[in-house]
Chain A
């Protein structure tokens, strides 16, 4: 995922110069040149998001507008989720699955209006996803010649920022006259942010309360700076890919290329909740139905090391007897829990909470325990006392 495939020059978001001026350390990621961290460091950035607020440039992510009278019907065929359950202003975590049920990408679908949807896809998969989406405009399988749909790749005209952390609402509200307090989880609305027309969604990739904000890329610097100033009181820091990774790992959110790829089906990855057979046929449905009836072979598990050390992607997972049962897909320190955590695939029979396993790290077997995911779950928002006790 961090490699630059081929010799194509790395792409830059409109905030590239901003990152340099803030001391961001730029690395290749999914074909883009993005900040992995700023001078505060990954741990400080991580804690800022858990305890205050952090701001991320996620302009590398793909945004595809899907519009037209056939948009709903098209998305119902393209994705395994039930898009008809979405009302205007609602969002849905979903997938693109291949005919064999393998995961092409994980996506978020926003319903902006009756015939208007926005699909956010992973940066590294944007070209593949867009080609896949275009190819499925013509649906040979059901004899439908063509959906009445317009597909538009919005990037690079539109950019995306993420504002994440318990103080994200206060920070954002200082930059907007629109009341955002009622915007629920996985809801989206139009608002002026720093005087700029924006789509504000209460989504994120950190396991914390937060927002993702889409707007015209020419305003990127102004919106970024306004949010940074508004969040200063809450200790806002710019956050890079390093913190984004530790935050999503603690929240057990999958990362494409790690927990998800073409060889993984949604049942194995613990994403069965996405799949809605009752809605009617969709790409990959037959293969997924077969997995559902025969049962998944592997399962994604959470691991907590019980001895010092760090497990990382590619490290083998073993039974205490030494039998290799799987491989870690992600791993690293959990700055919030002050533990070493990892995810990985093992046979279903071994996916038992509390089981003792080992992870082989540079020839040494480190003890670990299978634990429930997510590793970290935020405490519910504090309620204001409405009346004195007694």
Chain B
């Protein structure tokens, strides 16, 4: 699966996509494939703040728990409630229905420090 070009990527395999004046956050295809079947996603509440590089939640696969790291700072305006009953969406549609957070960033927030799809593809070659 190729990584969408309208997203930016972290070294911890999260993606973020600008959508109007908010940002949508999830984990990459590589991340979900490495984790295996996702059975539970622990996310913060709407209204909570996340800060770039800090853990904002946990994704549990059958075998292990893994931290989720925020690709940007901001306030959570929506969490993907479907993941409560269908955590497997993270595996099957990591860039669409398996999204996790919608975040309102600070004015003038920039994603320039994150990798674009090409840079992330190169990065994946180094972690294999």
Whether B40 lies near A309 (C-beta < 8 A) is yes
Interface core residue of B58, B62, B64 (most chain A CB under 10 Å): B62
Whether A37 lies near B36 (C-beta < 8 A) is yes
A43 CB-CB contact with B under 8 Å: yes
Report if A43-B58 is in contact (Cβ < 8 Å); known contacts: A242-B63, A308-B84, A309-B42.
no
Whether A246 lies near B42 (C-beta < 8 A) is no
Whether A42 lies near B37 (C-beta < 8 A) is yes
Chain A residues lying within 8 Å of B42, measured Cβ to Cβ, are 308-309
B39 CB-CB contact with A under 8 Å: yes
B65 CB-CB contact with A under 8 Å: yes
Report if A362-B58 is in contact (Cβ < 8 Å); known contacts: A310-B65, A312-B65.
yes
Whether B39 lies near A333 (C-beta < 8 A) is yes
A332 CB-CB contact with B under 8 Å: yes
Query: In the complex, which residue of chain A has the Cβ closest to the Cβ of B58?
Result: A362
Whether B84 lies near A246 (C-beta < 8 A) is no
Chain B residues lying within 8 Å of A242, measured Cβ to Cβ, are 36, 62-63
Question: Per-residue 0/1 for B38-52: is the Cβ within 8 Å of any A Cβ (1 yes, 0 no)?
Answer: 011010000000000
Chain B residues lying within 8 Å of A36, measured Cβ to Cβ, are 63
Query: How far apart are the CA atoms of A353 and B21 in the complex, in Å?
Result: 52
Chain A residues lying within 8 Å of B65, measured Cβ to Cβ, are 310, 312, 362
Q: How many residues of chain B are within 8 Å of chain A by beta carbon?
A: 14
B116 CB-CB contact with A under 8 Å: no
Whether B63 lies near A42 (C-beta < 8 A) is yes
Query: How far apart are the CA atoms of A20 and B64 in the complex, in Å?
Result: 23
What is the interface of chain B mostly: helix, strand, loop, or mixed? Answer: mixed
Chain A residues lying within 8 Å of B39, measured Cβ to Cβ, are 43, 310, 332-333
A41 CB-CB contact with B under 8 Å: yes
Q: Pick the contact of B37 from A41, A309, A362 — CB < 8 Å?
A: A41
Question: Per-residue 0/1 for A39-64: is the Cβ within 8 Å of any B Cβ (1 yes, 0 no)?
Answer: 00111000000000000000000000
Query: How far apart are the CA atoms of A152 and B44 in the complex, in Å?
Result: 57
B60 CB-CB contact with A under 8 Å: yes
Query: In the complex, which residue of chain B has the Cβ closest to the Cβ of A241?
Result: B63
Report if A333-B40 is in contact (Cβ < 8 Å); known contacts: A242-B62, A242-B63, A308-B84.
yes
Chain B residues lying within 8 Å of A333, measured Cβ to Cβ, are 39-40, 60, 62
Report if A41-B36 is in contact (Cβ < 8 Å); known contacts: A310-B65, A333-B62, A362-B58.
yes
Whole-angstrom distance from the CB of B83 to the nearest CB of chain A?
Answer: 10
Whole-angstrom distance from the CB of A225 to the nearest CB of chain B?
Answer: 25
Whole-angstrom distance from the CB of B96 to the nearest CB of chain A?
Answer: 19
Interface core residue of A43, A312, A340 (most chain B CB under 10 Å): A43
Q: Pick the contact of A42 from B36, B40, B58 — CB < 8 Å?
A: B36
Whether B84 lies near A43 (C-beta < 8 A) is no
Chain A residues lying within 8 Å of B40, measured Cβ to Cβ, are 308-310, 333, 340
Whole-angstrom distance from the CB of A82 to the nearest CB of chain B?
Answer: 38
Whether A332 lies near B84 (C-beta < 8 A) is no
Whole-angstrom distance from the CB of A367 to the nearest CB of chain B?
Answer: 15
Chain A residues lying within 8 Å of B37, measured Cβ to Cβ, are 41-43
Q: Pick the contact of A246 from B60, B62, B64 — CB < 8 Å?
A: B62
Which residues 110-126 of B have a CB within 8 angstroms of A?
none
Query: In the complex, which residue of chain A has the Cβ closest to the Cβ of B62?
Result: A42
Query: In the complex, which residue of chain B has the Cβ closest to the Cβ of A310?
Result: B60
Chain B residues lying within 8 Å of A42, measured Cβ to Cβ, are 36-37, 62-63
Whole-angstrom distance from the CB of B31 to the nearest CB of chain A?
Answer: 15
Query: In the complex, which residue of chain A has the Cβ closest to the Cβ of B67?
Result: A362
* Interface set of B (CB-CB < 8 Å, partner A): 36-37, 39-40, 42, 58, 60, 62-65, 84, 88, 91
13 new A-B contacts at CB < 8 Å, known A308-B84, A332-B62: A41-B36, A42-B36, A43-B62, A242-B36, A242-B63, A308-B40, A308-B42, A310-B40, A310-B65, A312-B64, A333-B39, A333-B40, A340-B40
Q: Which 8 A-B pairs have the closest CB atoms?
A: A333-B39, A42-B62, A43-B37, A310-B60, A41-B37, A42-B37, A310-B40, A242-B62
A-B contact pairs, 30 of them (CB 8 A): A25-B36, A36-B63, A41-B91, A42-B36, A42-B37, A42-B62, A42-B63, A43-B37, A43-B39, A43-B88, A242-B36, A242-B62, A242-B63, A246-B62, A308-B40, A308-B42, A309-B42, A309-B60, A310-B39, A310-B60, A310-B65, A312-B64, A312-B65, A332-B63, A333-B39, A333-B60, A333-B62, A335-B62, A340-B40, A362-B58
